[in-house]
Amino acid sequence: MARQKQASGSKKTDRKSRSLKVADTIDELKNELGSTGPAEVDNEAYWRAVRAQFPYNGSIRYTNNGTIGILPHMVLQAQIATLKEAEVQDGDTGGVTYPAPHEAHEKLAALINADPSEVAVTRNSTESMNIIALGLDLKPEDEILTTTHEHYGGWSCWQNRNALFGNPIRKLDLYDPPEDEDELVRLFEEAIRPETRVLSFCHVTCTTAWRLPVRKICAMARKRGLITVIDGAQSVGMIGVDVKDLGGDFYVSSTHKWLFTPKGTGLLYVDDSAQEHIGLGYYTHGGRLTARRFENNASQSYAPLVGFAMAVDFHNAIGTPLIEDRGAAMAGWLKTRLSDIPGVRVWTPMSRSLSASMVSFSIAGMTSSDVGTPLRERFGIHSRGLYEGGYHGARISCAMHNSYDEMEQVASAVSEIAANRC
Ligand SMILES: Cc1ncc(COP(=O)(O)O)c(C=O)c1O
| 320 in any annotated domain | yes
Report the pLDDT averaged over residues 293-319.
91
Which of 234, 263, 360, 386 to probe ligand 1 with, by most ligand atoms within 8 A of CB?
234
Report the pLDDT averaged over residues 309-319.
98
In this predicted structure, the answer to whether residue 225 has a pLDDT above a threshold of 70 is yes
Domain count, the chain: 1
What's phi and psi for 343, nearest 5 deg?
A: 90, -10
**What is the per-residue pLDDT across 52-61, written as a single tens digit (0 to 9) for each?**
999 987 778 9
**What integer best gives the mean pLDDT of the chain?**
92
| Selection from 136, 204, 233 nearest residue 352 by Cα | 204
Q: Could you tell me the distance, in angstroms and rounded to a whole number, from the CA of residue 264 to the centre of ligand 1?
A: 12
Q: Do the beta carbons of residue 252 and residue 268 sit within 8 Å?
A: yes
| Selection from 404, 368, 372 nearest residue 389 by Cα | 368
Write down the pLDDT at residue 188.
98
In this predicted structure, the answer to whether residue 3 has a pLDDT above a threshold of 60 is no
Residue 122 region by backbone torsions, left for phi larger than 0, else alpha for psi between -120 and 50, else beta: beta
Q: Ligand 1 pocket, 210 CB below 6 A?
A: no
Q: Could you tell me the distance, in angstroms and rounded to a whole number, from the CA of residue 204 to the centre of ligand 1?
A: 11
Q: Ligand 1 pocket, 209 CB below 6 A?
A: no
Write down the pLDDT at residue 339.
98
Residue 183 region by backbone torsions, left for phi larger than 0, else alpha for psi between -120 and 50, else beta: alpha
CA–CA dist 173, 22 (Å, integer): 46
Write down the pLDDT at residue 168.
98
CA–CA dist 194, 68 (Å, integer): 38
Give 284's pLDDT tier (boundaries 50, 70, 90): low
User: Which residue has the CA at smallest separation from atom 4 of ligand 1?
Assistant: 153
In this predicted structure, the answer to whether residue 342 has a pLDDT above a threshold of 70 is yes
Which CATH number fits the domain that encloses residue 77?
A: 3.40.640.10
In this predicted structure, the answer to whether residue 389 has a pLDDT above a threshold of 70 is yes
Report the pLDDT averaged over residues 267-287.
85
Which structural domain range is residue 345 located in?
54-422
- CA distances from residue 127 to 114, 131, 245, 253 in whole angstroms, order as listed: 20, 6, 24, 10
Q: Which residues of 391-416 are buried (b: 16+ CB within 10 A; e: fewer)?
A: bbbbbbbbbbbbbbebbbbbbebbbe
- CA distances from residue 137 to 161, 227, 368 in whole angstroms, order as listed: 11, 11, 39
Percent of the chain with pLDDT over 90: 83
Q: Could you tell me the distance, in angstroms and rounded to a whole number, from the CA of residue 126 to the centre of ligand 1?
A: 6
| 32 in any annotated domain | no
Q: Which atom of ligand 1 is nearest to the CA of 232?
A: 1
Q: Could you tell me the distance, in angstroms and rounded to a whole number, from the CA of residue 222 to the centre of ligand 1?
A: 25
Query: Counting Cβ atoms within 10 Å, is residue 82 exposed (0-12), middle (13-18) or buried (19+)?
Result: buried
Q: Which residue has the higher pLDDT, 381 or 284?
A: 381
- CA distances from residue 297 to 25, 81, 283, 368 in whole angstroms, order as listed: 28, 21, 8, 41
| 402 in any annotated domain | yes
Write down the pLDDT at residue 1.
34
Write down the pLDDT at residue 60.
82
| Selection from 276, 234, 285 nearest residue 102 by Cα | 285
Question: Angle at Cα 166 formed by Cα 163 and Cα 169, nearest 5°?
Answer: 90
Write down the pLDDT at residue 14.
42
Q: Could you tell me the distance, in angstroms and rounded to a whole number, from the CA of residue 199 to the centre of ligand 1?
A: 18
Report the pLDDT averaged over residues 393-413.
98
Cβ-based neighbours of 19, under 8 Å, separated by 6 or more: none
Q: Ligand 1 pocket, 153 CB below 6 A?
A: yes
Write down the pLDDT at residue 281.
78
Q: Ligand 1 pocket, 290 CB below 6 A?
A: no
In this predicted structure, the answer to whether residue 2 has a pLDDT above a threshold of 50 is no
SS3 225: coil
Q: Could you tell me the distance, in angstroms and rounded to a whole number, from the CA of residue 116 to the centre of ligand 1?
A: 23
Q: Could you tell me the distance, in angstroms and rounded to a whole number, from the CA of residue 125 to the centre of ligand 1?
A: 6
Write down the pLDDT at residue 93.
62
Write down the pLDDT at residue 84.
84
Question: Angle at Cα 174 formed by Cα 168 and Cα 178, nearest 5°?
Answer: 145
CA–CA dist 273, 253 (Å, integer): 20
Cβ-based neighbours of 379, under 8 Å, separated by 6 or more: 61, 409, 413
Give 13's pLDDT tier (boundaries 50, 70, 90): very low
Write down the pLDDT at residue 301.
85
In this predicted structure, the answer to whether residue 12 has a pLDDT above a threshold of 50 is no
| 367 in any annotated domain | yes
Write down the pLDDT at residue 302.
87
CA–CA dist 129, 161 (Å, integer): 11
Write down the pLDDT at residue 111.
98
**What is the per-residue pLDDT across 347-360, written as a single tens digit (0 to 9) for each?**
999 999 999 999 99
Of 136-150, 166-180, 272-286, the least confident: 272-286
Give 178's pLDDT tier (boundaries 50, 70, 90): very high
Q: Which atom of ligand 1 is nearest to the CA of 128?
A: 11
Write down the pLDDT at residue 7.
38
| 29 in any annotated domain | no
In this predicted structure, the answer to whether residue 372 has a pLDDT above a threshold of 50 is yes
Write down the pLDDT at residue 364.
97
